A and B are shown apart, each in its own frame.
Chain A
């Protein structure tokens, strides 16, 4: 079974407490329709799990298939420097069909990010971070997008909210039974 090769760390974008019983890591591509489908589901499970869940997003842009995936990832990383990663992440998934650079500038407007700042995002300054996420994903057995890891183990089950909640709650019970396992 594939395992997350890079533990979740301070360089990651995370929502929810670091002490949560369950950490769900998504390797995603902002232009991928399957990630778009998973987006509201993941919101639902976050709401249902509350503080029991930490959610982490890592970049896995499939740039040969999706012409706008890389610049969308760059936009989100730029927003992160202004403390607005999750707002950008959500806006991107809610506007998957409008991810040209012009569209991203106007999404930036909605977040209060000035145009020059958004445009700078496309100059390659975030290549390394995005590439590192991607490489870590390959080595962890990411085989497409979205790929999910629950407490460090790749989740290959169905991605409807009910099935995910069962898997997440089971992982929480296992973690609570053996809390010394460390956090990934």
Chain B
């Protein structure tokens, strides 16, 4: 392992992070991240309803902008299925604030800023070399279990069809039983 001195900083325990994105059936790791300079959003706050976590590499980059803009357009559709969406990147709160205002985003952007990428690491979607998160989606059910996850190539906007399929699966589990996939 490289940089052992840095890994040990501030803690006597070694945290073991998953090497790939957490998959369906895994309990979603808890987190509490700033959404604005004086507000935080935690996974606990999102419990009781399905949540969509959209990790993305950076505010302002063209593909991310398109992806977040697309989700902004379809928030109503997510809400109809009872789901809440949060975006997560390693950008700081002021950067998120400027980006969210510029794009008129109506959902929170969380700052995985300090310790940098810690939440992304716990979900197995941190790109250590570049220092950004993967472009990764997680759909978490009301009880806090990951029900679907997906990692896109960094330059490809994954769209929302996978999210909708996952949410519809949550909405009608009885209907899905007995239907072979």
Residues of A whose CB lies within 8 Å of any CB of B are: 2, 5, 62-65, 135, 138-144, 156
Contact = CB atoms under 8 A, between A and B. Distances in A.
Name the 3 nearest CB pairs between A and B, nearest first.
A143-B159, A143-B157, A144-B66
Contacts of B3: none
B130 interface: no
B70 to A, nearest CB: 6
Contacts of B158: 143
A108 B67 CA distance: 34
B160 interface: yes
B69 A141 contact: no
Contact of B159 (A63, A65, A135, A138): A138
Nearest to B66: A144
Contacts of B106: 64
A143 B159 CA distance: 4
Contacts of B67: 143-144
Contact of B70 (A2, A140, A143, A156): A143
Given A143-B159, A156-B156, A138 B77 contact: yes
Nearest to B159: A143
A138 B160 contact: yes
Number of chain B interface residues as a range? 10 to 19
Contact of A141 (B73, B104, B161): B161
A65 B69 contact: yes
Contact of A139 (B156, B157, B161): B161
A135 B74 CA distance: 9
B17 to A, nearest CB: 29
Contacts of B161: 2, 5, 138-141
B67 to A, nearest CB: 7
B23 interface: no
Given A65-B103, A135-B77, A138-B77, A144 B157 contact: yes
B145 interface: no
A5 B160 CA distance: 13
B94 interface: no
Given A143-B67, A143-B157, A144-B157, A62 B73 contact: yes
Interface in B95-110: 103-104, 106
A127 B76 CA distance: 15
A156 B157 CA distance: 10
B164 interface: yes
From B69, B103, B159, residue with most partner A Cβ within 10 Å: B159
A139 B160 CA distance: 7
B73 A63 contact: yes
Nearest to B74: A138
B68 to A, nearest CB: 10
A144 B156 contact: no
Interface in B20-55: none
